[in-house]
Amino acid sequence: MNNNLDSLLKNWSRRSRYREDQLSDLLNRTRLAVAEDRERPQAQRTAHPHAWRYILQGAVLASILLIGVYLLIPTRSVSPLDATGIAEHEKNVFREVDRLFDHNLRWAALVNNELKMGIDEEREGPGAEPEFVVRMIIVSREKDQEQWKMLWKADVLARTEEFINVPLDSDAQRLGLWLYRVNGNQYALDAHLNMQTPFVVDFTAMNVVKVGEPRQMMEFEDLSAEYRIYHVIQTLDECSG
């Protein structure tokens, strides 16, 4: 049945292709367009004319966020699930960053209060608005303690079906995420975390999650403490209450 469908599509594709004379005409027009573009002044030809403005804006914004967000993040929590609620003001940070860059961000992340961004250099004009914030946290507690302590936290601005690769302290260390809708309110989240500091973590996991419902991804322990990794996804346009 697949072959049948594939043949149908391939035959249609062959029928809709240009003839040699049409291709030749297009070839001439394309060569001319490229030559004309080459003649234009450099300033008009830059693929990303606002790149410097973006970088400057990003640097200023990052500085403001480093100070502002630091004050908002709790370092201790009675239950680790308390830390998985993404507050409206935290989403606002992403909304503002995304607006500032005309939706040209491939990804944006707040990793332990540090703003990281990747600009889509190939995109011209506004892209699709991001849909989700994915939060991943690592909490720990001493074996004789009740209270959990937040060790690491990352909020990542995400769109469905787009792979996001957030570099951490070095190229080899990264947080990779991709998200796609399974059905209704359920999404599959594929996560890969490779981190050397503050401790060594290297894992890949896939979970089907509901929007707004935190999920424990894994737990591990050493001689003195236990650790848990949680994640949650929330829509960007939804109030978390």
Partner 1 sequence: MSELIQRHMAPVRAMVYPMVLNHADADDLVQDIFIRVNRGIHRFRKKAQFSTWLYRIAMNTTRSFLRRKYRAPEQAELEKHPAASETSPCPGDNLVHAELDRDIQQALDALPEKLRAAVVLCILQEMEPAEAAQIQQCTRATMYWRIHEARKILKNHLGHHLTP
Binding site for partner 1 (CB under 8 A): 1-2, 4-6, 8-10, 12-13, 15-19, 22-23, 26-27, 29-31, 33-34, 37-38, 45-47, 120, 122-128, 161-163, 178, 180, 190
Give least dist CB 153 to partner 1, A: 24
Compare residues 60 and 182 and give the one whose CB is closer to partner 1.
182
Rounded Cα–Cα distance for residues 140 and 138 (Å): 7
Give least dist CB 122 to partner 1, A: 4
Give least dist CB 236 to partner 1, A: 18
Q: What is the per-residue DSSP string for 109-176? A: EEETTEEEEEE-TT--S--PPP-EEEEEEEEEEETT-S-EEEEEEEEEEE-TT--EEEE-SSTT-EEE
> Which amino acid, 117?
M
Give least dist CB 120 to partner 1, A: 8
Compare residues 17 and 144 and give the one whose CB is closer to partner 1.
17
Compare residues 72 and 206 and give the one whose CB is closer to partner 1.
206
Compare residues 66 and 182 and give the one whose CB is closer to partner 1.
182
Task: Give me the half-sphere count of Cα atoms (radius 13 Å) on the Cβ side of residue 209.
Answer: 25
Compare residues 52 and 180 and give the one whose CB is closer to partner 1.
180
Cα 235 from chain centre: 13
Give least dist CB 64 to partner 1, A: 30
3-state helix, strand, coil in the chain (%, to 5): 30, 35, 30
